[in-house]
Structures are given as C-alpha cells and as structure tokens.
Amino acid sequence: MKLALQFIPYAEIAYLSSYQRVKKLIDTVSHDKILLLQGKLHPDEEADLIQEAMRKIRSSGKFKGIELATFTPKTRNLGMLQNFREKLAVAFFGDRDVLTVIGPAAIVTEIKKDPTKLELFLKK
C-alpha cells in the first residue's frame, strides 16, 4: 500500500462554504490520503466532518473512519510587541500557523501531540 500525503493550503478552502469544506476533506481522506491542512476548522465544521465520516462508515463497507488532530506550535519568549503582532495577525487572518491532520482510520492508528511535536502512528 502506498502512503499519500496531501497538503491543502488555507487559501484553497478559505472561500468554500462549511459544507463544501467538509465534503472536500472527507472525499480526499476516503481515497486513503492523509491530509495536512494549513489552519484549522471551526468547531462546528469538525463536528460536521465527524458526522459525515460516520455516515460514510455506515454506507460503505470499506471506509473505516478518520483520525483528526490540530497542532498549534507553542512560541516561547516572545516580547510584548511581537506577542501583540501575533495576536493581531490571528485576529485578521486566522490561525494560519496551526496544522490540522486528518487521516483515514484504515491507515492512521493514532495521533499523539504535545506542545512541541505531533506524531502519526500508521498501520504497516
């Protein structure tokens, strides 16, 4: 089995509706691709993604579900001005420093994260 990673920049999904985002992500993952998404989904979109995955599990004998994790790298020792700039950028442009990983459960067995790293455990 080949391992396929697909990076989706934020700009590619920024102007899609919530439904279109969820559909695009679930369609890609159902083709056994691990997605690396720049940014993060809104909490309601995450819930919709999980619901859509559950629907797909019921309707397809092959699809086993998804594993999902959002990773925000921790920045340390920022000065007061730099910290203000970071918060201002997030307010205007969203969390683009965040990485969301979505993988098919048939390939990704577990995702572990801590403040400095994200680990994906895959089936052999």
Tell me: pLDDT of 104 over 90. Answer: yes
User: Where does the pLDDT of residue 28 fall: very low under 50, low under 70, confident under 90, or very high at 90 and above?
Assistant: very high
Provide the pLDDT for residue 123: 85
Instruction: Give the per-residue SS3 of 57-118.
Output: HHHCCCCCCEEEEEECCCCCCCCHHHHHHHHHHHHHHCCCCCEEEEEECCCEEEEEEECCEE
The amino acid occupying position 71 is F
Higher pLDDT: 49 or 114? It is 49
* 55-85 pLDDT tens trace: 999 998 788 999 999 988 766 666 777 767 7
Taking alpha carbons only, the member of 121, 76, 75 closest to residue 98 is: 75
Q: What are phi and psi for residue 28, nearest 5 degrees?
A: -70, -45
Higher pLDDT: 88 or 102? It is 102
Residue-range domain boundaries for the chain = 4-122
Assign 20 to helix, strand or coil. helix
Provide the pLDDT for residue 7: 95
Higher pLDDT: 44 or 97? It is 44
Supply the mean pLDDT for the chain.
Answer: 85
